[in-house]
Structure 1
Amino acid sequence: MKKVLIGIDYNPRSEKVAIEGHKLAKQLGAEVCLIHVMADVSYYGVNYPSFMGFETQSEMQVDLNVIAELREVAKKYIARAAEHLNDPTVTTHMAEGTTSGAILDYAEKWGADMIVLGTHSHSVLEKVIMGTTAGRILEKSKIPVHFIPVKN
Structure 2
Amino acid sequence: MKKVLIAIDYHPVSEQVAHAGYELANKLDAEICLIHVLADVAYYGTQFPTFMGYDGYTNLGPDLDMALEMRNVAKEFLQKAAEHLNDPKVTTHLAEGETADVLLEYAGEWGADMIVMGTHSHSKLEKLLMGTVAQKVLEKTTIPVYMVPVKK
TM-score by length of 2: 0.89
What pairs with 1:22-61 in structure 2 (closer than 5 Å)? Answer: 22-43=22-43, 58=58
Question: Contact 1:45/1:60 (CA < 8 Å) preserved in 2?
Answer: no
What is residue 17 of structure 1 aligned with on the other side? 17
Which of structure 1's runs of 4+ aligned residues deviate more than 4 A? 43-57, 59-62
User: Does residue 149 in structure 1 map to residue 142 in structure 2?
Assistant: no
Structure 1 counterpart of 2:90, one-letter code: V
Q: Which moved more, 1:124-133 or 1:65-74?
A: 124-133
Identity over aligned pairs, percent = 59
Structure 1 counterpart of 2:82, one-letter code: A
- RMSD (Å) for aligned C-alpha atoms: 2.2
Deviation at 1:63, TM superposition (A): 2.6
Structure 2 counterpart of 1:37, one-letter code: V
SS at match of 1:5: strand
The alignment covers a number of residue pairs equal to 152
User: Does residue 111 in structure 1 map to residue 111 in structure 2?
Assistant: yes
TM-score by length of 1: 0.89
Question: Contact 2:116/2:148 (CA < 8 Å) preserved in 1?
Answer: yes
Deviation at 1:105, TM superposition (A): 0.6
Deviation at 1:123, TM superposition (A): 2.4
Q: Which moved more, 1:49-58 or 1:115-124?
A: 49-58
Report Cα offsets for 1:51-85 as digits up to 9, x if no partner: 76777972666531111111001001001100100
The gaps in structure 1 that reach 5 residues or longer are: none
